[in-house]
A and B are shown apart, each in its own frame.
Chain A
Amino acid sequence: MSGAVREAASQLVKSLERLPQERVKHIVSLKESQLERFKPVAGLETNTQDSKQRPSLQDIKDIISRTSGPLGLQKDVLKKVNSMLPQEHYTVEAIQEQSQALNNLLNNKYKNYYAVGEKLMKPQGNPHYYQRLMDEIDGKKKETFWTAMRTVVFGK
């Protein structure tokens, strides 16, 4: 991998690290998965638990291409497997585009450009809807049994 690609990728990794932590834990995380994907390109160590335990895509490709008939597989099956594995060829241009897109997202370009204002942010029918949601996620103000019942009965 050339130096220019590595340079671009390390810029991208820096941007990826600026992605906000998820407030709620999900099965997959955009930040983690993309760091895992681009850190090797930037020549950095991936230090997640997961990547150490499981063989990486590179390892699998390696195993498949090393021997003529690994795992006792037929040639045509091997071909099929190889064609199904994602092949990623990074160019400087492509990686710079990725960073550019990511930076636009991080700078809230579209939230600011397409500002919807109070009308949608504090909707008339349910003005505290989003605030209550965020308070609950951030753990600021937990929903109690009574507030929950109120929502069930009255809808807001």
Chain B
Amino acid sequence: MLNYSTTQGLKNALRTFGNIKNSTALRSAKYSTNVNRSNESKDIESPEESTLRSHLDVKPIDYTNNAPVNPKKKRPLLSDSKYESKLYQLPKWKEALGEIVIKSFNLDMDKVRAGPVAGSYYYALCKEQGLQFENEPLSSTAKFFYEDLKLPRTFSQWFQVTILHEWILFVRMRAMPFKYGKNYQQKLVDRTFSDIELRLFDEMNVNSGRIADQYLKDFNSQLRGAVFAYDEGFFTDDATLAAAIWRNLFGGRKNVDMVHLEAMVRYVRAQLYVLSKMSDREFAMGGFKFVPPDETVHQLSPQQEAEMRNAVIEKYQAMDKKPDLLPSERSKLSFEN
């Protein structure tokens, strides 16, 4: 009941994989593979490729403090709760009890799902993007941020990377029905701050509650400022979005590389494009993953888009019609938009 594994969602359709050939097996599952390889246009490349192409040579790029997180005690990705560990299997009787409760009280599952999907799954996605520890190899996305874009490896930089990704999700959540979208946003923010508080104590070795509170207030105002600036940039033009990214993600440093800035704008816009092609239902069920920076998102042709939409509609219509659909799998969110 509480297990929301990622479905191979729509987003895969928008990617191009270098190593996967269009085999017939993949073709049959139309909306989950690379239907749009043919749409490749030459001047669109992945953000990582274009960053590496830059010839601007500035050394050292950033002379601020470089302090990788060096925890005494490392926290799990989400929480200490056994329910959020990957290995945990809910006993069958608990699962059945849950279903009975949902059915008898007629719980609104779209509302209930906000916790496990936005608060847990989506937060973990955002958190992972820029996660870094001293003496530990970086993930490939983190490499893009800290090595290719040469951002300083600090805790507050991690926070900036995280809120950029959260904002990308906020944009999509606003397009959900108000009641649900708001709830998803709230859960994501709540989780962010409760997690940061624990990380400050456990991993950043902050011992005083007063100092931790100060940091949290600081992070809160950073979040508000960033969301405002990104919203403005998203709605107006690329140059404004670039300026917002420069002020927040790049810390407003003078010796910035415009090619890096361009790559980040492309990265953000590409994620939003993928989200705009996703239905409410699929997004709310946790079917989204960020497109890694070394992959390119290409535009869909109207025909491919229609094809994908039909596949999604078919899938969920069949699901809703199933007589033995569990009460916890029910949803009223639209799968047609």
The interface of chain A, by Cβ under 8 A from chain B, is: 19-20, 22-24, 26-31, 33-34, 36-37, 83-91, 93-94, 97-99, 101-102, 104-111, 113-117, 119-121, 123-126, 129-130, 133-134, 137, 155-156
B181, B235, B247 — which one has the most chain A CB atoms within 10 A of its CB?
B235
A28 in contact with B252 (CB, 8 Å)? yes
B231: contacting residue among A29, A101, A130, CB under 8 A: A130
Does B63 make an interface contact (CB < 8 A)?
Answer: yes
A105 in contact with B265 (CB, 8 Å)? yes
A110 in contact with B265 (CB, 8 Å)? yes
CA distance A156 to B270 in the complex (A): 27
A106 in contact with B239 (CB, 8 Å)? yes
Does B297 make an interface contact (CB < 8 A)?
Answer: yes
Does B61 make an interface contact (CB < 8 A)?
Answer: yes
**Given A98-B258, A105-B262, A113-B44: A86 in contact with B232 (beta carbons within 8 A):** no
A111 in contact with B63 (CB, 8 Å)? no
CA distance A119 to B181 in the complex (A): 14
CA distance A90 to B60 in the complex (A): 14
* CB closest chain-B residue, reference A22: B243
A120 in contact with B254 (CB, 8 Å)? no
CA distance A121 to B174 in the complex (A): 10
Task: Scan residues 243-270 of chain B and give those whose CB is less than 8 A from a CB of chain A.
Answer: 243, 246-247, 252, 254-259, 261-262, 265-266, 269-270
CA distance A86 to B59 in the complex (A): 5
A114 in contact with B269 (CB, 8 Å)? yes
- Selected interface stretch from B2-10, B49-57, B213-221: B49-57
* CB closest chain-A residue, reference B255: A86
A105 in contact with B242 (CB, 8 Å)? yes
A156 in contact with B56 (CB, 8 Å)? no
B63: contacting residue among A26, A85, A124, A126, CB under 8 A: A85
B178: contacting residue among A30, A36, A125, CB under 8 A: A125
Q: How far is the CB of B269 from chain A (nearest CB, A)?
A: 4
**Given A117-B276, A123-B175: A108 in contact with B55 (beta carbons within 8 A):** no
Neighbouring A residues of B228 by C-beta, 8 Å: 133
CA distance A26 to B255 in the complex (A): 18
Does B209 make an interface contact (CB < 8 A)?
Answer: no
Does B37 make an interface contact (CB < 8 A)?
Answer: no
